[in-house]
């Protein structure tokens, strides 16, 4: 409750602070962002406050899921042009504003998951791990996307994960457990604001939650005027301002392994922008590089670098968009770090990204292929670009056989023994590239270090310094509740 009670006051304080930093004197009414139709508690009514006259009309909020600071540093090595003497900057570096603290408000765990982390920067409230925009009492918390919709803006969610995954879900659904993905998809369709669907552009994976088994949601969206698309070409040809694009049954494949018919993150972002920008009142768009985390969990450095590349491209594209759309703020941050990635391991002061550049497929892809019964030797020779020791190949074959045996005996696909054996197989496949690149890992889970925040555009200074992850939401609520574009209407 501490967080909820603090909310309104913090918002006003930050508004005043922002105003004094900007030297503005204009008076306007900033309503408490706690207000709304979500039955949220703790707001103390409206406040008179000094308004921020430099609010962005549009916000592109980008989440590198699992993109801890070591990911950004490793990617700098990876993306560096070896022909220049100095280590080149990434697209992110120039826009670094500060760091975010990520700890959740969980009774047992003090390292966050994507649900609690996402809820924090989507709603401004700390909550427990697994919560999708509900507080510790399971009460719904209003998200910045919902605020944008209330203001008449257009809204979008773009991700490489299932669109019902935690990070997109926290913007448009309220459930007590992130695994209730059918219900999250249902809420995407059923919950309305001012008679309208909350999210105009929904792009990513997870078609299994929108088909027959879950009430034919994709057809219902189509009946309501949404285009439904499943590949890059159809997405590019989509004419409606509202679109549901689901490009795989579950998470989208990692960029390095993806079929050409799939849109990349930047393609989805561009398509979203072209639709959302038609609204004179502006838009809120969340863009998630979700698979950075998906590759970090199984310690797949090739996958991580592949997805960092995809996220950087989308970030640069958003920055370029602000060149011609000065009323747009771009923020990029992470919800947490994953895997305990370290840049060098063992006794040498060396990290070798060149080895990763030589890889033709990610460890995750090769694992999936071998787990599906393909010949380990062929999969490795097609996927690996560096030498794969023959004794290690024996270990891969052994692990593949073990997994096959366990699968044949298991009563359900969710048997934890299958996950365990799959991890063993993936570790065996990835050992040579982790060794050759000198990449270290400490866990298959998340780690609790502060994450970097990048921002560019009006309001960017509100992200300066070491902040709490809830401040991201508070800033955006401030922008939207004191929005120049809606005040004109």
Which residues of the shown chain bind Zn ion in the complex (CB under 5 A)?
293
Q: Which residues pair with 157 in a beta bridge?
A: 202, 286
Least distance between Zn ion and beta carbon 275 (Å):
29
Least distance between Zn ion and beta carbon 446 (Å):
6
Q: Which residues pair with 466 in a beta bridge?
A: 99
What does the alpha-carbon distance between residue 402 and residue 409 come to, in Å, rounded to a whole number? 11
Instruction: Annotate 8-61 with DSSP letters as a single string.
Output: HHHHHHHHHHHHHHHT---EEEE--TT-STT--------EEEE--S---SEEEE
CA angle 187, 189, 195 (to 5 degrees): 105
What does the alpha-carbon distance between residue 407 and residue 396 come to, in Å, rounded to a whole number? 16
Largest pairwise CA distance in the chain: 72
Nearer to Zn ion, 293 or 450 (CB): 293
CA angle 10, 12, 13 (to 5 degrees): 60
Least distance between Zn ion and beta carbon 63 (Å):
12
Does 240 qualify as catalytic in the annotation?
no
Residues 6+ apart with CB under 8 A from 176: 130, 131, 132, 134, 138
Nearer to Zn ion, 269 or 293 (CB): 293
Please choose, from the candidates 105, 71, 85, the residue with its C-alpha nearest in 3D space to the C-alpha of residue 311.
71
Please choose, from the candidates 23, 19, 86, 70, the residue with its C-alpha nearest in 3D space to the C-alpha of residue 47.
19
Nearer to Zn ion, 66 or 282 (CB): 66
Least distance between Zn ion and beta carbon 297 (Å):
6
Nearer to Zn ion, 293 or 460 (CB): 293
Contact indicator for 485, 329 with CB cutoff of 8 Å? no
Least distance between Zn ion and beta carbon 182 (Å):
21
Q: Which residue lies nearest Zn ion, judged by its C-beta?
A: 293
CA 316 to chain centre: 16
Residues in the chain: 489
Least distance between Zn ion and beta carbon 477 (Å):
26
Catalytic residue among 14, 32, 70, 114: 114
**Residues that are catalytic:** 114
């Amino acid at each position: 409750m501490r967080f909820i009670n603090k909310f309104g006051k913090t918002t006003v304080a930050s508004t005043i602070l922002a105003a004094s930093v900007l030297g503005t004197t204009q008076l306007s009414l900033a309503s408490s962002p706690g207000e709304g139709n979500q039955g949220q508690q703790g707001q103390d009514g409206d406040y008179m406050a000094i308004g921020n006259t430099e609010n962005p009309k549009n916000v592109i909020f980008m989440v590198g899921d699992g993109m801890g600071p070591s990911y950004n540093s490793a990617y700098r090595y990876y993306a560096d042009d070896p022909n220049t003497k100095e280590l080149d900057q990434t697209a992110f570096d120039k826009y670094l504003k500060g760091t975010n603290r990520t700890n959740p408000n969980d009774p047992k765990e003090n390292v966050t998951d994507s649900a609690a982390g996402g809820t924090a920067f989507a709603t401004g409230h700390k909550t427990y791990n697994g919560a999708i925009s509900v507080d510790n009492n399971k009460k719904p918390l209003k998200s910045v996307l919902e605020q944008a919709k209330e203001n008449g803006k257009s809204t979008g969610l773009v991700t490489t994960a299932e669109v019902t995954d935690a990070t997109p879900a926290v913007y448009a659904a309220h459930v007590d457990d992130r695994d209730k993905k059918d219900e999250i998809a249902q809420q995407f369709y059923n919950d309305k604001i001012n008679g309208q669907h909350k999210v105009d552009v929904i792009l990513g994976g997870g078609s299994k939650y929108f088909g027959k088994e879950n009430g034919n949601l994709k057809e219902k969206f189509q009946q309501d005027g949404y285009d439904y698309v499943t590949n890059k070409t159809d997405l590019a040809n989509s004419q409606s301002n509202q679109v549901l694009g689901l490009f795989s049954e579950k998470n989208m494949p990692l960029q390095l392994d993806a079929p050409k018919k799939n849109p990349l993150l930047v393609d989805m972002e561009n398509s979203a922008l072209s639709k959302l920008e038609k609204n004179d009142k502006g838009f809120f768009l969340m863009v998630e590089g979700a698979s950075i985390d998906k590759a970090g969990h199984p310690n797949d450095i090739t996958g991580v670098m592949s997805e960092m590349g995809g996220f950087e491209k989308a970030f640069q594209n958003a920055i370029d968009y602000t060149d011609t759309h000065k009323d747009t703020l771009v923020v990029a941050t992470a919800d947490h770090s994953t895997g305990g990635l370290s840049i060098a391991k063992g006794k040498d002061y060396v990290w070798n990204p060149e080895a990763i550049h030589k890889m033709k497929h990610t460890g995750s892809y090769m694992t999936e292929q071998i787990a599906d019964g393909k010949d380990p030797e062929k999969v490795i020779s097609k996927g690996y670009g560096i030498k794969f020791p023959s004794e290690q190949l024996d270990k891969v074959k052994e692990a593949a056989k073990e997994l096959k045996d366990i699968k044949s005996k298991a009563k359900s696909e969710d048997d934890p023994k299958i996950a365990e054996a799959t991890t063993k197989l993936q570790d065996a496949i990835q050992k040579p590239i982790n060794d050759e690149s000198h990449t270290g890992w400490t866990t298959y889970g998340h780690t609790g270090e502060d994450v970097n925040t990048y921002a560019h555009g009006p309001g960017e200074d509100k992200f300066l310094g070491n902040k709490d992850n809830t401040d991201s939401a508070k800033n955006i609520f401030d922008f939207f509740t004191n929005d120049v574009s809606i005040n004109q209407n």
